[in-house]
Amino acid sequence: MIIYMWSGPRNLSTALMRSFENRLDTKVLDEPFYSFYLKKTKLTHPMFKEIIKNYSYNKNYIIKKITKIPKKNKIFYQKHMTHHLLDEINLDWIYKGKNCFLIRHPSKVINFYIKKNSLKNINDIGFKKQFEIFNLVKKKYNYDPIVVNSDKILKKPNETIKKLCKKLNIKFSENMINWPKGIRKTDGIWGSVWYEQVKNSTSFGKYKNSKLEVPKKYYNIYKESMNIYNKMNKFSI
């Protein structure tokens, strides 16, 4: 089985990748389109040159790689940033796997994102592309796609991960709740910038019920993101 987990940045996506990687039957892949995205957009993200140098930016090669399950693994879990899928990428291949959508409240996404990078528009945090893919899947299969809210994972990790496994029709493993501390060979090299918190984690962490104020300069992005978030959150497990 191939699992495409569609997320935006700062969504608890790497912790969820850790959770799946700690299964005995699963291979994970970290943001396969990142190099392609940077090469095309020329955005000066941290480690831009290193990412371009070390990872393929050939979209056809990437699509071939992510549509085949590696030998010796039953599950091929892929963490994707939706904004990495620029419009020139044909999305017909997404139906070769099970599509899931990881969401987080936009106030948290925006505040955590601007600590690491500049935010210019909503496309930088992936909400619009995520909703586009969500609607494609919904229309294709005529049923409600799998949506996971990161806050629900933090509040009730066992219950939420069990629900996710049930939706995916895979057996839940206790290994998905805790994992060894440290970096992984499967982490993208950008992890040295973005994964500081998760590399020291052994679980999803605790939920913090705090409201984050969005700086005024990002309010329009926040408002547009909230509209999409509310529509998708109705389907969260």
Task: Provide DSSP, 37-59.
Answer: HHHHH----TTHHHHHHHS---H
Fold (topology level) of 2-233:
Rossmann fold (3.40.50)
Average pLDDT value for residue range 53-82: 95
Contact 79, 85 (CB under 8 A): no
| Single pTM value for the model | 0.94
Buried b or exposed e, range 16-31, using 16+ CB within 10 angstroms? bbbbbbbbeebbbbbb
Domain spans of the chain?
2-233
Q: pLDDT digit string (tens) for 171-220?
A: 999 999 999 999 899 999 998 888 888 889 999 988 877 678 999 999 99
Split at pLDDT 50, 70, 90, the class of 143 is confident
Q: For the chain, what is the radius of gyration of the CA atoms?
A: 17
Distances (CA, A) of 11 to 39, 144, 174, 207: 24, 21, 22, 13
Average pLDDT value for residue range 226-232: 97
Query: Higher model confidence: residue 66 or residue 208?
Result: 66
